[in-house]
Structure 1
Amino acid sequence: MKINNFIYILLTAYLATFLRLTINNNFLISIIGSFLVGFLISKRLSNSIEKILLSGFFSCFTSFSGFIYFLYKILDQGEWIKFIIFFNLIIIVNLFTMLFGFLISRKIT
């Protein structure tokens, strides 16, 4: 991979982190990120642009650690049923949101 691509990945990661801190809502971020990932994967992007967006931007924007921290706070309170519901709900909603973004992108083009 070229050095320019590393720089672009760093810049997009910085932008994604800034946006994540600005929005400050894990659920909303995961929905927006899932929709946009679904939208983008339906496009035929070059390998380097795909790596820059998916590895740089979306890995920082929709960070897994935010999801895990949210679930940890529920578990720490001892609410197992709420944990199981939220865990499954978040994954299912994000998968369908990603599929929706994918389908919308296909309809547009």
Structure 2
Amino acid sequence: MDFSSIVIILLGSTLGLILRISIKNNFKKSIGFNIQYTSIVNFLSSFFLGILIALNFINNEILVLFYSGFLGCFSTFSSFIYQLFILFKKRQFLRLFFHYIEVIIFTFLFFCFGYFLIQFFLK
């Protein structure tokens, strides 16, 4: 990995972190139903990933910037796993199961939505 790739990843991860913190701070308020900011971030990450895959970038720097840098820092997979662990420790197994299924299904749906949305507009 050369120095320019490291700078590109650093730039992308900084932007991803800023957006994630912004979402965390702005979604502390209730939005009508109980959803955690990590789920929102994971849904958006999947949506953005679907868009990136659909755009099929040939330029490697753009992929490194957005895929490795931005989405790598923006998504919160470790926070998702930690939430599951907390539910496990609290012995809330049913809630753990439904939270797991909810995040997996919705992140997949958001990925597909982003992918097919771009496919629709590119045709």
**Structure-1-length-normalised TM-score:** 0.91
Deviation of the 1:21 alpha carbon: 1.4
Over the residues paired in the alignment, what is the CA RMSD in angstroms?
1.3
Q: In the alignment, what sits opposite 1:26?
A: 38
CA distance in 2: counterparts of 1:91 and 1:51, whole angstroms:
25
CA distance in 2: counterparts of 1:47 and 1:63, whole angstroms:
24
Matched AA of 1:48: E
Deviation of the 1:44 alpha carbon: 2.2
Cα deviation, 1:36-73, whole Å, max 9, x if unaligned, reads 11011111212231122111110110131111122122
Cα deviation, 1:65-89, whole Å, max 9, x if unaligned, reads 1111221222221101111111122
Unaligned runs of 5+ in 2: 25-36
Report the structure, 1 or 2, having the larger helix content.
1
Moved over 4 A (4+): none
